[in-house]
């Protein structure tokens, strides 16, 4: 088994090899085994390349070896391009040769079914035997634009420009499309990796590598599946909050499965993509909808400094686009800057009388480079401005290229971000090219420009909120909860009864009303008298999960007579409707006063582990699905966001004369539930529905609960 240190060394040789064997290279132009070899030459690879082919004496004028074992010199990296049926033989020889770093381009593995899966298993066995780390199989390959290596170990059509964006993709075909998209826009990459079936090295290993890669400032990731969500969150947090490198992710399968049928509310509301969304947000990852959005945001991060705040200046030579940009700035949660008197005076002195010297600054349609120069430099000088958006539309007198040069020159002098939108296509193409070559972010539309700017601002905000504490609760009684849950688990039960659920919650300090279990009418009265009226009665049975279906819940019993009467009535009804059900007794608890109904829940997700859900109860959850998710454990900031992030939060905040709810006690409940979720892995799903919240200082209480194991 390859340990972490070996893996890091092996990865280093994948990106920075001195010598490479192309195992399975051939002479047939237009095939992967040939083109990949030629790409090494074309990219100007700084090391030695050894083609391996059983028959050819030379390929592309390079001496060729029958087997990798025939190469006398040491080899850092093997790139295997043989058909899948013999990749294991090639990998075995790589192991014998002492090659620890391998890229397997060949397809025909897991993606083709059982036979391929078996082949893939074999590769993993060989890799483990020789401490080999490999990328692939079924991938496009790896590119490293660092001039120290100039490595194009892929069958992409061309080598991209050098840049600071690291791109990792599960899809090889998407990689070629991305390279083609990036090339005319002068978007450069530091490392470019297609990792295919990720049989050995996965996105987690590659993220770990990019974390420490000095050439990479921004990481883009395309995933089709997240197999270890918690590990992805962990490494992403280390990168985002530890090194300040943003991660932008495009994940397909948003609508794939939908919510699965589940016994609890939380289960049915927690569709896999909603959880994925929440988890990525929690980890600080920026999830994008498409390639264009991903690169729009990426170039902002890669080319410009992060804004110190959100006050924006807009400079435009056209009124309409200026208004559109202003709308977008506001919509994206940014602010239009108010200029200082000094800036206003400079603009008034330099621009025509018809120009708008307020924000957005309209330099008027006939503006040439000089007006843009004055407007841009004075707004960037202004301490009330955190960033500038420059818009241009092409008029007959607009010297587009000169303006682009001017913007490039001035932007480089300030530590504030400058984004541009030269609107149009043909006439503005020359200017756009100048901007793109000079790493000034350019956008086709002002709306995309504002959206991208906003992403960088929010990223900076998120950084400030990271590292908040996760509360611990020394008062909890884990043993009590575990004995209940383990007992149920061992007995093969899928859910625990209400009294057991309440006891589990109580053990973790969640507020439950006074309660007791009665096995007779007399005992029911004794418990009710002790608790105080009014009380609630619920049937307890391992065979009845939905108590209301069998009319096993009676509310608001106000005296001993009602308790006695309803006790007999309820048992009679349940026995009639479910004669086979084994009755454990009757759960009696204090009837809560009317408060705001909330729903709090937890579900164990395959990829992300325990996930918490919070929302308003009643119709808010039934119809509007107004709920928020977060992966446990949650920190103080995440809990606050879970609560304030629901659409109906104003109801809790006291809108329209309502009493302000006890948010502090709600926060405590969520933290305690988070702790419970982490400490009790036996729980599959948990619902507290409703959690009744009262006015400030009056707390909140669990009115009903369900726990599935």
Partner 1 sequence: MEKIEVRSRIKKVISKVLSVDEQAIAENANFVFDLGADSQQSLELVAAFQEEFNITMDEDKAFSAQTVSQAVDVISGYLN
Q: Of 6, 48, 56, 678, which one interacts with partner 1 (CB under 8 A)?
A: 56
Per rule CB under 8 A, is residue 57 in the interface with partner 1? no
- In whole angstroms, how close is the CB of 55 to partner 1 at the nearest point? 3
Q: x/- binding map, residues 273-302, to partner 1, per CB under 8 A?
A: ------------------------------
Name, in order, each residue with C-beta under 8 angstroms of 236's C-beta and a sequence gap of 6 or more: 207, 247, 280, 283, 284, 285
Instruction: Pull the structure tokens for residue 600.
Output: 């709090």
Q: Of 90, 557, 563, 680, which one interacts with partner 1 (CB under 8 A)?
A: 90
Upper half-sphere CA count for residue 72 (Cβ side, 13 Å): 1
- In whole angstroms, how close is the CB of 708 to partner 1 at the nearest point? 46
- C-alpha torsion sign, points 172, 174, 177, 182: negative
- Pick the piece of the chain touching partner 1 (CB under 8 A) from 48-56, 104-112, 378-386, 489-497: 48-56
Instruction: Let me know: does 618 contact 597? Beta carbons within 8 Å.
Output: yes
- In whole angstroms, how close is the CB of 86 to partner 1 at the nearest point? 4
- Pick the piece of the chain touching partner 1 (CB under 8 A) from 77-85, 397-405, 418-426, 437-445: 77-85
Per rule CB under 8 A, is residue 474 in the interface with partner 1? no
Per rule CB under 8 A, is residue 86 in the interface with partner 1? yes
Backbone angles phi, psi at 569, to 5 degrees: -60, -45
- DSSP state, residue 547: G
Q: x/- binding map, residues 370-389, to partner 1, per CB under 8 A?
A: --------------------
SS (H, E, C) 3-60: CHHHHHHHHHHHHCCCEEEEECCCCCCCCHHHHHHHHHHHCCCCCEEEEECCCCCEEC
Instruction: Pull the structure tokens for residue 284.
Output: 């600080």
Per rule CB under 8 A, is residue 89 in the interface with partner 1? yes
- In whole angstroms, how close is the CB of 143 to partner 1 at the nearest point? 26
Q: Which is nearer to partner 1, 53 or 503 (CB)?
A: 53
- In whole angstroms, how close is the CB of 116 to partner 1 at the nearest point? 14
Tell me the residue length of the chain: 709
Q: x/- binding map, residues 121-150, to partner 1, per CB under 8 A?
A: ------------------------------
Please count the other Cβ atoms lying within 10 Å of the Cβ belonging to residue 164. Answer: 20
Nearest to 53 by CA among 39, 70, 40, 67: 67
Per rule CB under 8 A, is residue 490 in the interface with partner 1? no
Nearest to 462 by CA among 623, 638, 630: 638
Q: Of 1, 5, 30, 55, which one interacts with partner 1 (CB under 8 A)?
A: 55
Nearest to 644 by CA among 658, 659, 630: 630
- In whole angstroms, how close is the CB of 482 to partner 1 at the nearest point? 53
- In whole angstroms, how close is the CB of 89 to partner 1 at the nearest point? 5
- DSSP state, residue 648: T
- In whole angstroms, how close is the CB of 37 to partner 1 at the nearest point? 14
Instruction: Let me know: does 263 contact 432? Beta carbons within 8 Å.
Output: no
Q: Which is nearer to partner 1, 84 or 282 (CB)?
A: 84
- Transcribe 231-276 into DSSP letters: HHHHHHHIIIIII---EEEEE--TTSS-PPP-SSHHHHH--HHHHH
Q: Which is nearer to partner 1, 90 or 703 (CB)?
A: 90
- In whole angstroms, how close is the CB of 317 to partner 1 at the nearest point? 59
Q: Which is nearer to partner 1, 62 or 553 (CB)?
A: 62
Q: Which is nearer to partner 1, 83 or 430 (CB)?
A: 83
CB < 8 Å & 24+ apart, contacts of 483-487:
485/680, 485/682, 485/683, 485/707, 485/709, 486/682
Per rule CB under 8 A, is residue 85 in the interface with partner 1? yes
- Pick the piece of the chain touching partner 1 (CB under 8 A) from 53-61, 348-356, 488-496, 580-588: 53-61
Per rule CB under 8 A, is residue 628 in the interface with partner 1? no
Q: What is the dihedral of CA 700, 705, 708, 709, to 10 degrees?
A: 60
- C-alpha torsion sign, points 85, 91, 92, 93: positive
Name, in order, each residue with C-beta under 8 angstroms of 645's C-beta and a sequence gap of 6 or more: 628
Q: Which is nearer to partner 1, 26 or 164 (CB)?
A: 26
Q: Which of residues 304-323 bind partner 1 (CB under 8 A)?
A: none
Q: Which is nearer to partner 1, 54 or 657 (CB)?
A: 54
Nearest to 649 by CA among 705, 690, 596, 592: 596
Per rule CB under 8 A, is residue 657 in the interface with partner 1? no
Distance, CA of 704 to CA of 599 (rounded, Å): 10
- C-alpha torsion sign, points 394, 399, 401, 403: negative
Q: Which is nearer to partner 1, 62 or 291 (CB)?
A: 62
Nearest to 304 by CA among 383, 419, 389: 419
Q: Which is nearer to partner 1, 120 or 451 (CB)?
A: 120
- In whole angstroms, how close is the CB of 35 to partner 1 at the nearest point? 14
Per rule CB under 8 A, is residue 53 in the interface with partner 1? yes
Per rule CB under 8 A, is residue 83 in the interface with partner 1? yes
Q: How many residues bind partner 1 (CB under 8 A)?
A: 12
- Pick the piece of the chain touching partner 1 (CB under 8 A) from 51-59, 511-519, 545-553, 582-590: 51-59
- Pick the piece of the chain touching partner 1 (CB under 8 A) from 50-58, 367-375, 408-416, 644-652: 50-58
Q: Which of residues 18-37 bind partner 1 (CB under 8 A)?
A: 26, 28
Backbone angles phi, psi at 499, to 5 degrees: -65, -40
Taking CA atoms, 66 is separated from 17, 38, 101, 192, 427, in Å, by 21, 19, 20, 30, 56
Q: Which is nearer to partner 1, 59 or 418 (CB)?
A: 59
- Transcribe 405-459 into DSSP letters: HHHHHHHTTSSS-EEEEE-SSSTTHHHHHHHHHTT--B-SSHHHHHHHHHHHHHH
Q: Are strands 19-23 and 77-80 parallel, antiparallel or unpaired?
A: parallel
Instruction: Let me know: does 676 contact 504? Beta carbons within 8 Å.
Output: yes
Q: Which is nearer to partner 1, 90 or 669 (CB)?
A: 90
- In whole angstroms, how close is the CB of 53 to partner 1 at the nearest point? 6
Alpha carbon 411 to chain centroid, angstroms: 32
Per rule CB under 8 A, is residue 65 in the interface with partner 1? no
Distance, CA of 124 to CA of 169 (rounded, Å): 21
Q: Which is nearer to partner 1, 51 or 595 (CB)?
A: 51
Q: Which is nearer to partner 1, 107 or 440 (CB)?
A: 107
Per rule CB under 8 A, is residue 82 in the interface with partner 1? yes
- Pick the piece of the chain touching partner 1 (CB under 8 A) from 3-11, 86-94, 284-292, 435-443: 86-94
Per rule CB under 8 A, is residue 541 in the interface with partner 1? no
- Interacting residues with partner 1 (CB under 8 A): 26, 28, 53-56, 82-83, 85-86, 89-90
């Amino acid at each position: 088994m390859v340990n972490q240190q070996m893996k890091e060394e092996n990865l280093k040789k994948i990106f920075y090899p001195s010598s490479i064997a192309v195992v399975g290279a051939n002479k047939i132009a237009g095939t992967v085994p040939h083109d990949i070899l030629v790409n090494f030459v074309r990219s100007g690879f700084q090391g030695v390349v050894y083609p391996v082919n059983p028959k050819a004496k030379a390929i592309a004028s390079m001496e060729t070896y029958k087997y990798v074992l025939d190469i006398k010199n040491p080899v850092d990296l093997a790139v295997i391009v043989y058909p899948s049926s013999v990749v294991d033989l090639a990998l075995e020889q790589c192991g014998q040769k002492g090659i620890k770093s391998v890229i397997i381009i060949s397809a025909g593995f897991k993606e083709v079914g059982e036979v391929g899966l078996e082949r893939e298993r074999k590769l993993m066995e060989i890799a483990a035997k020789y401490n080999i780390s490999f990328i692939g199989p079924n991938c496009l390959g790896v590119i490293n634009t660092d001039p120290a290596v100039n490595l194009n170990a892929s069958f992409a059509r061309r080598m991209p420009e050098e840049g600071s964006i690291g791109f990792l993709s599960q899809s090889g075909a998407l990689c070629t499309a991305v390279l083609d998209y990036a090339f005319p826009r002068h978007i450069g990459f530091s490392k470019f990796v297609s990792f295919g079936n990720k049989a050995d090295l996965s996105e987690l290993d590659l993220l770990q590598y990019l974390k420490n890669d000095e050439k990479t400032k921004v990481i883009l990731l395309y995933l089709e599946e997240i197999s270890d969500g918690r590990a992805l969150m962990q490494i992403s947090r280390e990168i985002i909050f530890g090194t300040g490198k943003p991660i932008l992710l495009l994940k397909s399968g948003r609508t794939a499965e939908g919510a699965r049928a589940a016994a609890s509310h939380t289960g049915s509301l927690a569709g896999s993509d909603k959880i994925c969304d929440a988890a990525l947000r929690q980890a600080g990852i920026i999830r994008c909808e498409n390639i264009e959005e991903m690169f729009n945001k990426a170039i902002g991060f890669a080319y410009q400094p992060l804004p110190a705040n959100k006050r924006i200046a807009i400079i435009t030579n056209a009124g309409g686009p200026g208004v559109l940009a202003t709308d977008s700035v506001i919509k994206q949660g940014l602010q239009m800057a108010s200029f200082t008197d000094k800036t206003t005076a400079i603009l008034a002195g330099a621009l025509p009388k018809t120009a708008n010297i307020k924000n957005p600054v309209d330099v008027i349609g006939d503006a040439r480079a000089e007006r843009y120069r004055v407007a841009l430099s004075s707004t960037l000088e202004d301490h009330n401005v955190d960033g500038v958006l420059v818009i241009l539309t092409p008029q007959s007198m607009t010297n587009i290229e000169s303006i682009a040069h001017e913007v490039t020159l001035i932007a480089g002098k300030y530590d504030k971000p400058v984004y541009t939108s030269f609107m149009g296509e043909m006439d503005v193409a020359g200017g756009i090219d100048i901007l793109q070559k000079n790493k000034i972010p350019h956008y086709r539309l002002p709306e995309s420009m504002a959206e991208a700017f906003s992403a960088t601002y929010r990223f900076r905000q998120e950084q400030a909120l990271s590292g908040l504490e996760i509360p611990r609760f020394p008062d909890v009684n884990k043993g009590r909860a575990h004995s209940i849950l383990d007992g149920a688990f061992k007995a093969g039960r899928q859910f625990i009864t209400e009294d057991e659920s309440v006891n589990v919650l109580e053990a973790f300090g969640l507020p439950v009303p006074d309660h007791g279990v009665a096995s007779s009418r007399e005992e029911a009265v004794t418990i009710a008298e002790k608790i105080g009226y009014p009380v609630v009665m619920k049937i307890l049975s391992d065979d009845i999960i939905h108590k209301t279906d069998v009319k096993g819940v009676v509310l608001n019993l106000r005296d001993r007579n009602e308790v006695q009467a309803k006790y007999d009535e309820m048992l009679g009804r349940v026995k009639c409707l479910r004669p086979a059900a084994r009755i454990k007794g009757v759960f009696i608890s204090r009837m809560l006063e009317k408060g705001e109904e909330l729903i709090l829940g937890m579900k164990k997700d395959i990829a992300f582990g325990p996930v918490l859900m919070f929302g308003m109860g009643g119709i808010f959850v039934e119809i509007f699905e107004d709920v928020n998710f977060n992966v446990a454990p949650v920190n103080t900031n995440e809990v606050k966001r879970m609560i304030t992030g629901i659409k109906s939060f104003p109801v809790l905040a006291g809108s329209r004369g309502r009493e302000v709810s006890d948010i502090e006690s709600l926060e405590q409940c969520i933290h305690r539930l988070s702790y419970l979720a982490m400490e009790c892995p036996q729980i599959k799903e948990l619902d507290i529905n409703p959690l009744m919240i009262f006015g400030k200082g009056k707390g909140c209480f669990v009115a009903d609960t369900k726990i599935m194991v």
